[in-house]
Structure 1
Amino acid sequence: MSDYFRQNAVKTSFANSESWIMLSSIEQQIKQKIERVGTPLKDWDIRINYGIKTGFNNAFIIDGTKRKELMDMDPKSEEIIRPILRGRDIQKYYKDFSDLYIINVHNGIKSKNLQPIKIDDYPAIKRHLDVFYKELAKRSDKGITPYNLRNCDYLYDFNQNKIIYPNMTKFLPFVYDDGQFLTNQKCYIITGNNIEYLTAFFNSSLFKYCFRDNFPELQGGTRELSKIFFDKIKILQVSEEINSSFKNLITKLQQFKRKGIKTKEIEVEIDHHIFKLYDLTVEEINEIGFIEIQ
């Protein structure tokens, strides 16, 4: 054993106190190649934020049946009832909508001159929330009234095209959303430039190969995908033209998902487009392969 270590040992220097992982020579070669041409996500023109925290989901999150009931009682209710996704609803490239909605009694945004929702303008919703009034009043994170949600300065970001991903996950799934879904606190959203390309990159085999271990592993192989870990990841920036080409592939892939058509062929195609961007060799591509976390 001692002879083996003497023959195969490699000297390594550590320039700072950040966490580190053990990599083979080819793993180091690939990761260094990727990071050498990449820009840390903290320097991209993107924003990463967590989902809506209600303080009492039983009152604010409703199913489709309750939504219809409230809208039948008062059609105006539809104005502040929005579809919502949870962490468990996020799959690779696909959102598994569970017919759940959030009553978005937002607290306004002063910087954008958006006024808080006045609950008296929505009598059917007020009657629904009144059932939970004691619990609503106890919340430490309520808005200007017990009916209002806490402040959310990035509320408009949910209306933009965005990436949604769960905050804790074994499978590292990312979905591109152009449907103005809101999310609960079990998700993060990414808005900004070139998010179609980023969706493809985050779902790619290259991302899983190089960066899965950048996220702390919790019990059962689950990873914590907090913003502080994403900020340090270095990714190659691309042109609008390249971003558009990835958007076309993602649109096609999501159409297949909705129809129940297998998408591995498109996913492999996306992988190879990304490999080409990074000018990976045949040896490096074969080393990475197609990674599907089970």
Structure 2
Amino acid sequence: MTGYNEAFIIDKKTRDALIQASPKNGEIIRPILRGREIHKYWIEKNDQYLLFIPWHFPLQNDPTINGSSQVAEEKFKIDFPSIYDHLKGFKDSLSQRNQSETGIRYEWYALQRFGSNYSNNFQMPKIIYPNMTKFLPFYYDNEGNYLNDKCFMITGKHLGYLTAFLNSSIFKFCFRDIFPELQGGTRELRKIFFETIRVLEVSDLENDLFKTKIEEIQDNKKNGLPTSELELGIDNLLFDKYDLTTEERAAIGFINIL
């Protein structure tokens, strides 16, 4: 959560200008996605980038800093002068954010919230999905996308298999109604609801098989190629994995809720 998107979320033209001013600026410019840009096996490229500036940056790893730090600001100004100047143009608005914290707990130029306990996970392979959606879409992300507060992510083992499972007909048929339906048919995809779902474990070899298949689907989606046969193949693999009967397979009907 930036607290002021106009300052921290920049377009490609601004990103390119900042990197041209200093290649070092690229260290803290990250691609960012919003919930509405995440779809089943594909994402919308939005040419939006985040200035990722934690509290006390660039001294965020100094445990002796407690509260807003003038020392950190001076170092930021020296190390990243063009980004500092960019944010300085928004200083009045940035300083008017949460008055009990801005300039007290963190510096005026820092993000309001930056996922301090898990921010490194944004650059790891992960499954990403919107917090509210009609369509239950999941995307396997290995491109280091950052997310705003309208998205969630899953990290850990066997993400290829888990992406396939979450996007499958069996998941939507069996578990769709676990997620509460809100106004307009939107469903809320929060952690507390996922914790009630039991998922069969797989071996590393099985996960690699699913990972290869979902990466092929995602590549096809990116290039505008058909994926229905590939998705049906994943459904059939999962039907076999869960040892479904002919009647159970028929009840699901091989239907993906797109």
TM-score band w.r.t. shorter chain:
0.7 to 0.9
Query: In the alignment, which residue of structure 2 is the partner of 1:136?
Result: 94
Please give the residue correspondences for 1:173-188 in structure 2 after superposition, counting only pairs within 5 Å.
Answer: 173-188=137-152
Greater relative contact order: 1 or 2 (C-alpha under 8 angstroms, separation 6 or more)? 1
Query: In the alignment, which residue of structure 2 is the partner of 1:38?
Result: none
- Equivalent residues, number: 238
Amino acid at match of 2:86: H
Answer whether contact 1:83 1:100 (CA < 8 A) is retained.
Answer: yes
Please give the residue correspondences for 1:187-202 in structure 2 after superposition, counting only pairs within 5 Å.
Answer: 187-202=151-166
Answer whether contact 2:40 2:137 (CA < 8 A) is retained.
Answer: yes
Residues 1:74 and 2:22 aligned together: yes
- Paired with 1:110 and 1:236, the residues of 2 have a C-alpha distance of 42
For residue 176 of structure 1, give the secondary structure of its aligned residue in structure 2. Answer: strand
Residues 1:147 and 2:109 aligned together: yes
Answer whether contact 1:208 1:291 (CA < 8 A) is retained.
Answer: no
Structure 2 stretches lacking a partner, 5+ long: 64-71
For residue 235 of structure 1, give the secondary structure of its aligned residue in structure 2. Answer: coil
The share of aligned pairs that are identical, in percent, is 50
Amino acid at match of 1:133: K
- TM-score normalised according to structure 2 size: 0.87
Shift of residue 109, structure 1, vs aligned partner:
5.3
Answer whether contact 1:109 1:153 (CA < 8 A) is retained.
Answer: no
Query: In the alignment, which residue of structure 1 is the partner of 2:205?
Result: 241
- Paired with 1:69 and 1:144, the residues of 2 have a C-alpha distance of 27
Amino acid at match of 1:159: Q
Instruction: Answer with 1 or 2: which has the greater Rg.
Output: 1
The farther-off stretch of 234-243 and 101-110 is 101-110
- Paired with 2:61 and 2:140, the residues of 1 have a C-alpha distance of 26
Shift of residue 57, structure 1, vs aligned partner:
1.1
- Paired with 2:235 and 2:255, the residues of 1 have a C-alpha distance of 10
Answer whether contact 1:88 1:166 (CA < 8 A) is retained.
Answer: yes
Please give the residue correspondences for 1:1-294 in structure 2 after superposition, counting only pairs within 5 Å.
Answer: 53-107=1-55, 108=60, 118-120=75-77, 121-140=79-98, 144-149=106-111, 150-151=113-114, 152-294=116-258
- Paired with 1:261 and 1:128, the residues of 2 have a C-alpha distance of 41
Structure 1 stretches lacking a partner, 5+ long: 1-52
